Amino acid sequence: MTRTVIRGGLVVTAAEEMHADVLIEGERVVALAAYGTSVAEGWTADREIDARGLYVVPGGVDAHTHMELPFGGTSASDTFETGTRAAAWGGTTTIVDFAVQSVGATLRAGLDAWHAKADGNCAIDYGFHMILADVNEHSLKEMDLLVAEGVSSFKLFMAYPGVFYSDDGQILRAMQRGADNGGLVMMHAENGLAIDVLVEQALAAGHTDPRYHGEVRRELLEAEAVHRAIKLSQVAGSPLYVVHVSAASAVAELAAARDQGLNVFGETCPQYLYLSTDNLAEPGFEGAKYVCSTPLRPKEHQAALWKGLRTNDLQVVSTDHCPFCFVGQKELGRGDFSKIPNGLPGVENRMDLLHQAVVDGHISRRRWIEIACATPARMFGLYPRKGTIAPGADADIVLYDPTATQTLSAQTHHMNVDYSAYEGRQLTGRVRTVLSRGTVVVDDNRWFGRAGHGRFQPRATCQYLI
Ligand code: URP
Ligand code: ZN
Ligand code: ZN
């Protein structure tokens, strides 16, 4: 079994920071010892990695990605191969992607299809959530089987009537089932029926540009849906995880529920922290690059999101990585914003953008690791195998240079998409080396990974309940 020692770095986990050496045997961390002590110096290894001047952090856990998702008349442009490779380049070593139930089909058929897409193609480890698009007697029963095989979270949509939408009765039934079997309900909280009315009215008025996407998907309709989802989860006695929260008033709904001691959780994404309706309003058709749902909000909302991350009213930052090329894909919505495929690329950028938040003073270093690694692992039953550096954990480790600078660009990123949502943005901090289960996959700007190294990770139920 290969022994590796990472020497002299500042190990940062959600819980602590320490100058320590890390001993890895095979795929696992076996010990940490204070740097410079006789214990650490006594370790012999096949490979020594010098981490002086670097942070040694757990590999990122991105709990919200959509590789190869068929959506909006096209498919997300990253495959499991390209998307997981890009994730690794950016310091993320685990993704949890969304398998999709088609209307009229079983959860089993959807999950099998997603296994077939991912199996043998991923560069890093991966798990699945299941999208429930057709809540009925059979799919409710199937939820129990999926939880037992490690697919322990289920996304429901209050948006997208006719596609993924579930009505309140269906949502309540799925939540009741989750309360029984431990499955965590993840909610896309926007009032889709009301939004569709506003879309129709906007188009009838000749408002076809991308910026109208942000206008019709009103903040109030996100807050209303979050409120309703919370009440339904209270009735069901189930926990609730609200995905891609973008509006200040939605954060307020979550905060009020949490103040009551409820098991209600919220996720936001880098695009809501760094981008805004100003991007949606970029001239020409450029705004299409920023069309996602929930939509980008006016800049003023960002302070509430940062505050929510500091106060733990928001617990997780995921990417909702769902890339569509500008040419040929986003362009499907020229002349009709409602036909622009919804989604942004970002799986490669999340760890860096959140490190920039440390540099900018929004969050602490340990909070960076908590919201990007430890809590997503706990929330989705992967901890402590993932999300921390501790004896017994998988050796998913990133050596991070906090002083290196970089400029984000489509010219240099590894995601299979022809634009960057953060083109030209300058960041301080950069990944130097990435280990996935003890194997170096990225080092000094070189790729050593391979498709098929990544393994499916069966997950336990939520480990974050109050
Ligand atoms: O615009 C988005 N978020 N696209 C991906 C699908 C979803 O709702 O998460
Ligand atoms: Zn969604
Ligand atoms: Zn999503």
List, for residues 323-342, the tens digit of each pLDDT value: 999 999 999 999 999 999 99
Predicted local distance difference test score (pLDDT) of residue 147: 98
Q: What is the mean pLDDT of residues 114-143?
A: 98
Q: CB atoms < 10 A from the CB of 410, how many?
A: 15
Question: What is the share, in percent, of the chain residues with pLDDT greater than 70?
Answer: 100
Q: How many CA atoms lie within 13 A of 410 on its CB side?
A: 13
* pLDDT level of residue 21 (50, 70, 90 thresholds): very high
* CB-ligand 1 contact for 224 (6 Å cutoff): no
List, for residues 427-466, the tens digit of each pLDDT value: 999 999 999 999 999 999 999 999 999 999 999 999 999 9
DSSP states of 244-268: S---HHHHHHHHHHHHTT--EEEEE
Residue at 413: amino acid letter: H
**Rounded to an integer, what distance in angstroms lies between the CA atom of residue 35 and that of residue 87?**
30
**Rounded to an integer, what distance in angstroms lies between the CA atom of residue 210 and that of residue 282?**
9
* pLDDT level of residue 105 (50, 70, 90 thresholds): very high
* pLDDT level of residue 360 (50, 70, 90 thresholds): very high
* pLDDT level of residue 297 (50, 70, 90 thresholds): very high
**Rounded to an integer, what distance in angstroms lies between the CA atom of residue 144 and that of residue 127?**
17
SS3 (DSSP) at 284: coil
SS3 (DSSP) at 431: strand
List, for residues 22-47, the tens digit of each pLDDT value: 999 999 999 999 999 999 999 999 99
Predicted local distance difference test score (pLDDT) of residue 140: 98
Instruction: Name which of 312, 256, 236, 348 is nearest 464 in CA terms.
Output: 312
Predicted local distance difference test score (pLDDT) of residue 128: 99
User: Would you say how long the chain is, in residues?
Assistant: 466
Q: What is the mean pLDDT of residues 405-426?
A: 98
Q: Cis peptide leading into 92, omega within 30 of 0?
A: no
DSSP states of 171-232: HHHHHHHHHHH-PEEEEE-S-HHHHHHHHHHHHHTT--STHHHHHHS-HHHHHHHHHHHHHH
Q: Which residues of 111-123 are buried (b: 16+ CB within 10 A; e: fewer)?
A: bebbeebbeebbb
- Residue at token pair 């214990």: 39
DSSP states of 37-90: SHHHHH---SEEEE-TTSEEEEPEEEEEE-TT-EETTEE-S--HHHHHHHHHHT
**Rounded to an integer, what distance in angstroms lies between the CA atom of residue 351 and that of residue 431?**
9
Which residue has a Cα nearest atom 4 of ligand 1?
343
Which residue has a Cα nearest atom 5 of ligand 1?
343
Residue 443 phi/psi, 5° resolution? -150, 125
Helix boundaries (H) for 296-402: 301-311, 350-359, 365-369, 375-379
* pLDDT level of residue 243 (50, 70, 90 thresholds): very high
Q: What is the mean pLDDT of residues 223-239?
A: 99
The one-character DSSP state at 59 is P
In a 10 Å sphere around its CB, with 0-12 CB exposed, 13-18 middle and 19+ buried, how is residue 259 labelled? Answer: exposed
* pLDDT level of residue 250 (50, 70, 90 thresholds): very high
- Residue at token pair 């989750």: 178
- Name the pairing type of β-strands 184-188 and 74-75: unpaired
Which residue has a Cα nearest atom 9 of ligand 1?
320
Residue at 433: amino acid letter: T
* CB-ligand 1 contact for 322 (6 Å cutoff): yes
**Rounded to an integer, what distance in angstroms lies between the CA atom of residue 87 and that of residue 346?**
9
Structure tokens given for 237: 């006695």
Instruction: Name which of 410, 412, 411 is nearest 421 in CA terms.
Output: 410
* CB-ligand 1 contact for 242 (6 Å cutoff): no
**Rounded to an integer, what distance in angstroms lies between the CA atom of residue 118 and that of residue 127?**
10
* CB-ligand 1 contact for 246 (6 Å cutoff): no
Out of 62, 64, 65, 66, mutate this one to test ligand 1's pocket (max ligand atoms within 8 Å of CB): namely 66
Calculate the average pLDDT of the chain: 98
SS3 (DSSP) at 328: coil
Out of 292, 297, 330, 347, mutate this one to test ligand 1's pocket (max ligand atoms within 8 Å of CB): namely 292
List, for residues 284-295, the tens digit of each pLDDT value: 999 999 999 999
**Ligand that comes closest to the CA of residue 292:** 1
Q: What is the mean pLDDT of residues 43-54?
A: 98
Q: What is the mean pLDDT of residues 304-312?
A: 98
**Rounded to an integer, what distance in angstroms lies between the CA atom of residue 16 and that of residue 10?**
10
**Rounded to an integer, what distance in angstroms lies between the CA atom of residue 168 and that of residue 228?**
9
List, for residues 156-177, the tens digit of each pLDDT value: 999 999 999 999 999 999 999 9
Predicted local distance difference test score (pLDDT) of residue 391: 98
Structure tokens given for 375: 């809590």
SS3 (DSSP) at 20: strand
Q: Are 395 and 5 in contact (CB under 8 A)?
A: no
In a 10 Å sphere around its CB, with 0-12 CB exposed, 13-18 middle and 19+ buried, how is residue 303 labelled? Answer: exposed
Q: How many CA atoms lie within 13 A of 416 on its CB side?
A: 15
Residue 112, C-beta contacts closer than 8 angstroms, at least 6 positions apart: none
* pLDDT level of residue 53 (50, 70, 90 thresholds): very high
